[in-house]
Amino acid sequence: MPGPSITHTVVRSDASSPHHPPLVDEDELRQMLPELQRLHDAYLQSPREANCFTITMPAGWFHEFDTYITASWDDIKDVFTLDELDVSIIQVWTM
């Protein structure tokens, strides 16, 4: 069964750089769960003007049909700047 996929949505333009800057340094990133590492990679690869993203959960993951979740990259930035307890809670949520 294929896993979730992420698409990017442009809601404002900020063309000062083609992509988003890293949210954490390499050492912090290596200590994170693989799911958070993939989310960080998706953030880095997204165009800077893409301010939102949609995760497509294929049929069979939660329902018998495709499920779509849309969120802001600003919300993801918050995940990476939380304290350790909050990050642990988010890591459990992403598993």
Residue 93 has pLDDT above 60, yes or no: yes
| pLDDT tens string 6-33 | 665 554 445 556 777 888 889 989 998 8
| pLDDT tens string 68-88 | 888 888 888 877 776 655 656
Using alpha carbons, select from 56, 53, 29 the residue that is nearest to residue 43.
53
Backbone phi, psi, residue 84, to 5°: -60, -40
Beta strands per DSSP E along 1-95 = 5-10, 50-57, 67-72
The pTM score is 0.62
CB atoms within 10 A of CB 83: 7
Range of the domain at 80: 5-94
> 13 vs 4, 32, 48, 63, 79, CA distance in Å?
26, 30, 8, 35, 23
Cβ–Cβ < 8 Å for 53, 70: yes
- In the chain, the number of structural domains is 1
